[in-house]
Chains A and B, each alone.
Chain A
Amino acid sequence: MSTITLYSVAYGLASLLLGALGSILPGAARAAVTNVDVVTGLGVLIFAAILLAASMLNTIVLIWWERKLLGRFMDRRGAMHVGYAGLLQNFADGFKLFRKDTVKPREADALGFFTGPAAYMVTSMIIFGVLPISTGWNSGALPLSLLLALAIFSFAPLFIFVSAWSSNNKYSLMGGMRSAAQMIAYEVPLLLAVVAVVIVSGSFSLTTIVYEQQNYWYWGPLFVALIVFVAAMLAEMERIPFDLPEAEAELVEGWNTEYGGMLFAFFMLADYLRALVGSILVVLLFLGGWTMPSWVPSAATSFPLAGIFWFMLKTYLVFGVFVWIRASLPRVRTDQLLRVGWNRMIPLSLLAVFLAAVLVTVKCVWPFGCVPSMGV
């Protein structure tokens, strides 16, 4: 286990910077600059900046990945012209949106219209602060990081509804209503599926959950929970087949109809940030996080940053499955979605919780092995 952590990198960078700054300053200022609290504070800021940059970069690459993959599913090649294989296309699109004017409809409510997208974006980014990417590459040992991540994740319908309502557009309002109904309905099975994982691992800490999967990843024994979690996550991410809040066929663009330019880019980025969070949660809860099974040769898991490599690989593959689903399924209708949510998903998630309880009781399941922390 290497001793390098993201925080130590940030702290080292901060002390290097401040040390260099202090060496050219007179005595009193040098003491103030190289104070331990100042260095720690700057270290935390750099840590946050690295996380922010990494999450944004990954989001943009994720969009590229979706565009390329979707292109292949559709018998075309996706973005090809800007950068190698279109890698820089999203940056070009982003700059285009950045340059555009921000238009607010005259009758729209300015407070909700502008704070909605900002809050949606910010809450989506905060989640990255609590997600452990690899050993040491998180913000610290939060004992309830899973709970915190899901709590922040569930803020979204509020902000969507606020921005939809303040747009003063009938399509936006209908999209906002659908979004709120859908997200609240699918919050319940999502959390119940997570409860199954929590029962087996005995912890709300994502790091602990990953280490509890050393004998077997949870996707096998908790398969029902995985299915419920992925389906509910698709609804939370508002992707096809559950993208009816922005069903472009009837609602134009749903709750973000009135948004253009950078405000639209905020929504778009936040959507993909949430998609990234969803894929990461699937990897953390069901696919062993950054760990690999013991039969994988140690050379493949011991090179520098191997944990991050395997983690990102799994994340992108999980997102690829989401893209696959998007490429091949039609959209369902609101009433059908809610009926499935309340009548099918909740009983199914309760079944998943029951199976998790059985698993904890019997402790060992062929062919997977034994629950580690249960002391068998």
Chain B
Amino acid sequence: MSEMWINMGPQHPMTHGLWNLRVKIDGEMILDVDPEMGYLHRGIEKISEDRHYNEVITLMDRCCYVAGLAWEHLYIIASEEALHLEAPERALYLRVLCEEFQRLASHLMWYAAFVQDIGLMSPFLYGMRDRDLILDLLQSYTGARMTYEYMRVGGVRSDLPPGFTDRTRKVLDWLNARFVEYDQLCLGSDIFHKRCDGLGILKANDCVAHGVTGPMLRSAGVPRDLRRDRPYAVYDQLEFDIAHADTADVTGRYLVRMEEMRQSLRILRQVVDWLDRHPGPVMADQLPRWLGAPYAPVGNEGYLLKRHYPKGLGFSAVEEPHGEAQAYVVNEGGEHPYRVKFRSPVFANISAARQYLIGYRVADIPPIMGSVDVCVGEVDR
């Protein structure tokens, strides 16, 4: 066969979303790749400029369909800094609870998609089954399974329902036992190692050069995690280890994500214990009226408050399940943010595709791209 370009996407089982990987192949060998993104662009940053601060949260859920709460958290931290507000401590713990649940759900989704990419059929359903338990928990206190709209500027929308912490502990125990099974199905299989060892290598300096973050960076031997290196919310009061591996390949990313899930269980246990012991308010008291009730007609008092509200800039960086997400919110006074800008970790991770795909085979594309954990919603925004 002569050299030819094939389009893997925008509709292709490998993409896990809506993007296009153009691949130049010679037989089974990859000569060149060219990732094309932008099929899912909705202009979320521009739309945000026309929304109340709390209405932007709705858009954040649409940024990443498997990690909506992590993106809410990212935006909330930045906008609270811009608005000079502080949430009560219980709300901060609830946000950490949300983010770690979301990390588990996202990594389980990744596990399901990844094993499907290398042809393992049963663990796909195991991953989805166990993710459902977490979605059930999230549904019990946010009311939704995918688009939560749970966090608010100055706190969170509601407190936990009764009996929630006990249910959570049961789920955590169940998951802890299941992870052993996951590893047996993958690491215990010779074919898995044949398909994954030494593939898609991206060394630490290449990661830094391309802005690659998250599990891909940690699998290259760099234990960088914003939860520890630039603590936000209450992560500095929690105990956990940073998962990392040295192989910089697909197996390394698998190991990192599995270990991260175990660490998430550990964090969740501490958070749930804390929440049991410390009841309290989940919203700040001193909120301007226009922030608390965005749809209510703005009265005299609110108008004045709005006009005299101080201006500010907010920046946040959150260790999202896929990598380091960053947000920048400009408050020029008023109900709407003047400018909102996000940094998507997956965008950088995909953009480095040329570095970790060329030289491998066509059959290696699904495991390698699967180990990147693509979420196109946040790439295109």
- A residues sitting closer than 8 Å to B (CB atoms) are 70, 73-76, 170-171, 173-174, 177, 240-241, 243-244, 247-252, 326-336
Q: Do residues A332 and B191 form an inter-chain contact, with CB atoms below 8 A?
A: yes
For the complex with contacts A74-B122, A247-B366, 13 further pairs of A-B residues with Cβ separation under 8 Å are A74-B121, A74-B124, A75-B122, A174-B28, A249-B13, A249-B366, A250-B362, A328-B120, A329-B120, A333-B361, A334-B361, A334-B363, A336-B194
The docked-state distance in angstroms from the alpha carbon of A20 to that of B28 is 64
- B residues sitting closer than 8 Å to A (CB atoms) are 1, 4, 6, 8, 12-14, 28, 115-122, 124-126, 129, 185, 189, 191-192, 194-195, 361-366, 370
Q: Do residues A177 and B194 form an inter-chain contact, with CB atoms below 8 A?
A: no
The docked-state distance in angstroms from the alpha carbon of A287 to that of B290 is 79
Q: Which residue of the partner chain A has the closest CB to B116?
A: A249
| Interchain CB contact (< 8 A) of A330 among B8, B14, B118, B126 | B118
Q: Which residue of the partner chain A has the closest CB to B367?
A: A249
Q: Do residues B129 and A243 form an inter-chain contact, with CB atoms below 8 A?
A: no
| Interchain CB contact (< 8 A) of B365 among A73, A250, A332 | A250
Which residues of chain B are near A75, meaning CB under 8 Å? 122, 125-126, 129
Which residues of chain A are near B365, meaning CB under 8 Å? 250
A250 and B366 in contact (CB under 8 A), knowing A328-B122, A332-B191? yes
| Interchain CB contact (< 8 A) of A327 among B122, B361, B366 | B122
Which residues of chain A are near B8, meaning CB under 8 Å? 250
| Interchain CB contact (< 8 A) of A332 among B6, B124, B195 | B195
Instruction: Looking at the assembled complex, report how far the CB atom of A247 sits from the nearest CB atom of chain B, in whole angstroms.
Output: 7
Which residues of chain A are near B115, meaning CB under 8 Å? 330
Interface centre among A250, A331, A333 (most CB of B within 10 A): A250
Which residues of chain B are near A250, meaning CB under 8 Å? 8, 13-14, 362-363, 365-366
The docked-state distance in angstroms from the alpha carbon of A74 to that of B192 is 19
Which residues of chain A are near B4, meaning CB under 8 Å? 170
The docked-state distance in angstroms from the alpha carbon of A74 to that of B115 is 13
Q: Do residues A330 and B192 form an inter-chain contact, with CB atoms below 8 A?
A: yes
Q: Do residues A241 and B122 form an inter-chain contact, with CB atoms below 8 A?
A: no
A249 and B117 in contact (CB under 8 A), knowing A328-B122, A328-B185, A332-B191? yes
| Interchain CB contact (< 8 A) of A249 among B119, B185, B191 | B119
The docked-state distance in angstroms from the alpha carbon of A327 to that of B6 is 30
A70 and B363 in contact (CB under 8 A), knowing A249-B116, A330-B115, A332-B195? no
Instruction: Looking at the assembled complex, report how far the CB atom of A39 sits from the nearest CB atom of chain B, in whole angstroms.
Output: 51
The docked-state distance in angstroms from the alpha carbon of A171 to that of B361 is 14
Instruction: Looking at the assembled complex, report how far the CB atom of A242 sits from the nearest CB atom of chain B, in whole angstroms.
Output: 10
The docked-state distance in angstroms from the alpha carbon of A332 to that of B364 is 10
18 pairs from A and B in contact (CB 8 Å cutoff): A74-B122, A74-B126, A75-B126, A170-B4, A174-B362, A243-B119, A247-B363, A249-B117, A250-B8, A330-B120, A330-B189, A330-B191, A331-B118, A331-B191, A332-B191, A335-B28, A335-B361, A336-B194
The docked-state distance in angstroms from the alpha carbon of A333 to that of B119 is 10
Q: Do residues B125 and A74 form an inter-chain contact, with CB atoms below 8 A?
A: yes
Q: Which residue of the partner chain B has the closest CB to A73?
A: B122
Q: Which residue of the partner chain A has the closest CB to B118?
A: A330
Instruction: Looking at the assembled complex, report how far the CB atom of A9 sits from the nearest CB atom of chain B, in whole angstroms.
Output: 41
| Interchain CB contact (< 8 A) of A247 among B119, B194, B370 | B119
Q: Which residue of the partner chain B has the closest CB to A243?
A: B119
Q: Which residue of the partner chain A has the closest CB to B119?
A: A331
The docked-state distance in angstroms from the alpha carbon of A336 to that of B193 is 12
| Interchain CB contact (< 8 A) of B189 among A177, A329, A335, A336 | A329
Instruction: Looking at the assembled complex, report how far the CB atom of A77 sits from the nearest CB atom of chain B, in whole angstroms.
Output: 12
Q: Which residue of the partner chain B has the closest CB to A333?
A: B363
Which residues of chain A are near B191, meaning CB under 8 Å? 241, 329-332
Q: Do residues B364 and A248 form an inter-chain contact, with CB atoms below 8 A?
A: no
Instruction: Looking at the assembled complex, report how far the CB atom of B161 sits from the nearest CB atom of chain A, in whole angstroms.
Output: 28
Instruction: Looking at the assembled complex, report how far the CB atom of A115 sits from the nearest CB atom of chain B, in whole angstroms.
Output: 24
Which residues of chain B are near A332, meaning CB under 8 Å? 191, 194-195
Q: Do residues A249 and B118 form an inter-chain contact, with CB atoms below 8 A?
A: yes
Instruction: Looking at the assembled complex, report how far the CB atom of B364 sits from the nearest CB atom of chain A, in whole angstroms.
Output: 7
The docked-state distance in angstroms from the alpha carbon of A250 to that of B125 is 20
The docked-state distance in angstroms from the alpha carbon of A329 to that of B362 is 20
The docked-state distance in angstroms from the alpha carbon of A174 to that of B34 is 20
The docked-state distance in angstroms from the alpha carbon of A74 to that of B125 is 6
The docked-state distance in angstroms from the alpha carbon of A74 to that of B118 is 16
Interface centre among B8, B115, B121 (most CB of A within 10 A): B121
Q: Which residue of the partner chain B has the closest CB to A241?
A: B191
Instruction: Looking at the assembled complex, report how far the CB atom of B241 sits from the nearest CB atom of chain A, in whole angstroms.
Output: 29
Instruction: Looking at the assembled complex, report how far the CB atom of B184 sits from the nearest CB atom of chain A, in whole angstroms.
Output: 10
Which residues of chain A are near B6, meaning CB under 8 Å? 170-171
The docked-state distance in angstroms from the alpha carbon of A74 to that of B189 is 17
| Interchain CB contact (< 8 A) of A70 among B121, B189, B194 | B121
Instruction: Looking at the assembled complex, report how far the CB atom of A177 sits from the nearest CB atom of chain B, in whole angstroms.
Output: 7
A333 and B13 in contact (CB under 8 A), knowing A76-B125, A247-B363? no
Which residues of chain B are near A243, meaning CB under 8 Å? 119
Closest 6 pairs between A and B when the two form their complex, measured CB to CB: A331-B119, A249-B366, A74-B125, A330-B118, A333-B363, A249-B117
Instruction: Looking at the assembled complex, report how far the CB atom of B134 sits from the nearest CB atom of chain A, in whole angstroms.
Output: 17
Which residues of chain B are near A244, meaning CB under 8 Å? 363
Instruction: Looking at the assembled complex, report how far the CB atom of A83 sits from the nearest CB atom of chain B, in whole angstroms.
Output: 23
The docked-state distance in angstroms from the alpha carbon of A333 to that of B366 is 11
Which residues of chain B are near A241, meaning CB under 8 Å? 119, 191
Which residues of chain B are near A327, meaning CB under 8 Å? 121-122
Instruction: Looking at the assembled complex, report how far the CB atom of B231 sits from the nearest CB atom of chain A, in whole angstroms.
Output: 38
Which residues of chain B are near A328, meaning CB under 8 Å? 120, 122, 185
The docked-state distance in angstroms from the alpha carbon of A173 to that of B25 is 13
Q: Which residue of the partner chain A has the closest CB to B191?
A: A330
Q: Which residue of the partner chain B has the closest CB to A244?
A: B363
Instruction: Looking at the assembled complex, report how far the CB atom of A215 sits from the nearest CB atom of chain B, in whole angstroms.
Output: 36
Q: Do residues A240 and B119 form an inter-chain contact, with CB atoms below 8 A?
A: yes
